[in-house]
A and B are shown apart, each in its own frame.
Chain A
């Protein structure tokens, strides 16, 4: 869309681990307030792409722009300031198992923003309620919660600091279909509520259709299709067609 403000933009991002070329020139952008879902099979570079944006992995070359600012070379306080714009829901939750639920949710507020523990506790309770969890879970440890509840806590942690951009890594993996749909609804609801831009990676097409404004497909470290979510069934791309049908027949050959 001409003139639309790009919140996040990746230009020719490349990353290799030894001889394994994971990202081979990723080009993609997300407009402010929009939700982009990147679909693709296992080992196609989805996770490395998202970790490159987050600064967990340093790209070999290319450019990652957030609000028009180059971020790949950021260090120290500049990197910290950048990170405060981000929220992230990890695939396995990645909750700190030695900390109670409320402290997990409020971690970024206490450590990153210097909010007092008392205020952080109140904010954590508010965020837990916003993802449908009662205040009584606040003092439990992550191991005492079910997988679905842990995912909700992860979501509460991701949105706790009211981030500009939220990343979702396989948000529905490991959940039953009903709980997966509940999480999808929560993701849409909380993201829209915050007015946040979101980048999700998944291979769950139901989740992708529900969350996305736009969908892109990554294959062998390159974006091979990018369009509106509504157009995914008429992409005209045989790779996308095979993926959304979940068919073994087609141009994508699985290595077994």
Chain B
């Protein structure tokens, strides 16, 4: 009989003790909390180092340009398609709802405000998390397990400057650009449905689109996008950089990067929305 089985039998013989159970519960909660705080601390330290190396030389413009193209240009089709169909569905759904209150005229306004303030930044963030976050984690994770990151160090190249900083900068800069394009495409999707399916008059739809739209609506979405771009690239870099040995470790890093970036985007979206629009 193993030691654990003997202990279990001894505990069974002594009977259930609520004090022991409570102590065990507290121990588990404490261990989980400490683990969580440790993870937050490690991530914060990693983010701090990443930001520091974004602003200190040497800089790698060729690598930055490559990341700008990869994150921005190559994400355009997936973000554009997402925005187009989101705008179209939004027009259809809001028309269905508003027609019950004879408020169909508000469709264009709802589409443009929803797209610029919420849907374009959040959906673009989530799509880029899937495309770019996973790719960054897999690439850096593979470099970690094949000792390429150690090789960088031996070749007098700081891994944070060479690998992390260009990706953080590119993510933070390019997501707002993608979201600006997604804003236009999403609103145009709503326009297509509004004019060609719901029989709105084109001039009226466009007028309603502009009527209540303010610069703040668009700019707040771009700030959110910038934060989401940072989150996506940070999580990709963090999980890739700390990838464990082997293919399984790289796979886990990739999954963790996408899941954690997606959750953080949704949480950050709430707090940013409250920050921008609280009391308005």
Residues in chain A within 8 A of chain B (CB atoms): 51, 54-56, 80, 83-84, 86-88, 90-92, 94-97, 107-108, 111-113, 157, 167
Q: Is the interface of A mostly helix, strand, loop or mixed?
A: mixed
Report the stretch among B127-135, B151-159, B201-209, B210-218 that lies at the interface.
B151-159
Known: A90-B147, A92-B147. A107 touches B157 (CB 8 A): yes
Q: How far in angstroms is the closest Cβ of chain B from A46?
A: 14
B153 touches A94 (CB 8 A): no
Of the A-B pairs whose beta carbons lie under 8 Å apart in the complex, a sample of 26, sorted by A's number, is: A54-B150, A54-B154, A56-B150, A56-B153, A56-B154, A80-B156, A83-B154, A83-B155, A83-B156, A84-B156, A86-B154, A87-B154, A88-B151, A90-B147, A91-B147, A92-B146, A92-B147, A94-B147, A94-B148, A94-B150, A94-B151, A95-B148, A108-B155, A111-B157, A111-B162, A167-B154
Query: How far, in whole Å, are A90 and B150 apart by their CA atoms in the complex?
Result: 9
Residues of A within 8 A of B151 (CB): 88, 90, 94-96
Give the number of residues in B that approach A within 8 Å (Cβ atoms). 14
Looking at the assembled complex, report how far the CB atom of A249 sits from the nearest CB atom of chain B, in whole angstroms: 32
Bound-state Cα–Cα, A7 to B148, Å: 27
* A-side contacts of B142, CB under 8 Å: 97
Provide the bound-state CA to CA distance between A107 and B156, in Å. 10
Q: Is the CB of B157 within 8 A of A96?
A: no
B139-183 vs A, Cβ < 8 Å mask (1 yes, 0 no): 000110011101101111100001000000000000000000000
Count of A-B residue pairs with CB < 8 Å: 53
What's the Cα separation between A113 and B157 when bound, in Å? Answer: 10
> Once the chains bind, are B155 and A107 in contact (CB under 8 Å)?
yes
**Are B157 and A112 closer than 8 Å at their CB atoms?**
yes
Q: Nearest residue in A to B60 (C-beta to C-beta)?
A: A111
Tell me, in angstroms, the Cα distance from A73 to B147 when the chains sit together: 23
A157 to B156: give the CA distance in the assembly, Å.
13
Please name all residues of chain A whose beta carbon is closer than 8 Å to the beta carbon of B155 when the two chains form the complex. 83, 107-108, 111-112, 157
Report the minimal beta-carbon distance from B267 to chain A, rounded to whole angstroms: 32
**Which of B148, B153, B154 is within 8 Å of A96, CB to CB?**
B148
Assess the A54–B156 pair: CB atoms within 8 A: no
Given A94-B147, A94-B148, A111-B162, check contact A88 B156 (CB 8 Å). no
A94 to B154, CA, bound (A): 11
Which has the most chain A C-beta neighbours within 10 Å: B58, B148, B156? B156
- Most chain B CB atoms below 10 A, which of A51, A54, A84, A94: A94
User: In the bound complex, what is the Cα–Cα distance between A107 and B151 (angstroms)?
Assistant: 10
Please, which residues of chain A bring their CB within 8 A of the CB of B147?
A: 90-92, 94
Q: How far is the CA of A62 from the CA of B66 in the complex (A)?
A: 42
How far, in Å, is A118 (CB) from chain B's closest CB?
15
- A54 to B156: give the CA distance in the assembly, Å: 11
A sample of 9 more A-B contacts (CB under 8 A), given A88-B151, A92-B147, A107-B155, is A54-B153, A83-B153, A90-B151, A108-B155, A111-B155, A111-B156, A111-B157, A111-B162, A167-B154
Distance between B138 CB and nearest chain A CB, rounded to angstroms: 12
* Residue of A with least CB distance to B151: A94
A154 to B219, CA, bound (A): 49
Name the residue of chain A whose CB is nearest to the CB of B162. Answer: A111
Assembly CA distance A112 to B153 (angstroms): 10
| Shortest beta-carbon contacts, A-B, top 4 | A112-B156, A108-B155, A94-B151, A94-B147
Chain A residue numbers with a CB within 8 Å of B153 are 54-56, 83
Measured in the bound complex, the distance between the Cα atoms of B268 and A78 in whole Å is 40
B162 — which chain A residues lie within 8 A by C-beta? 111
Chain B residues near A90: list those with CB within 8 A.
147, 150-151
Q: What A residues does B154 contact at CB under 8 A?
A: 54, 56, 83, 86-88, 167
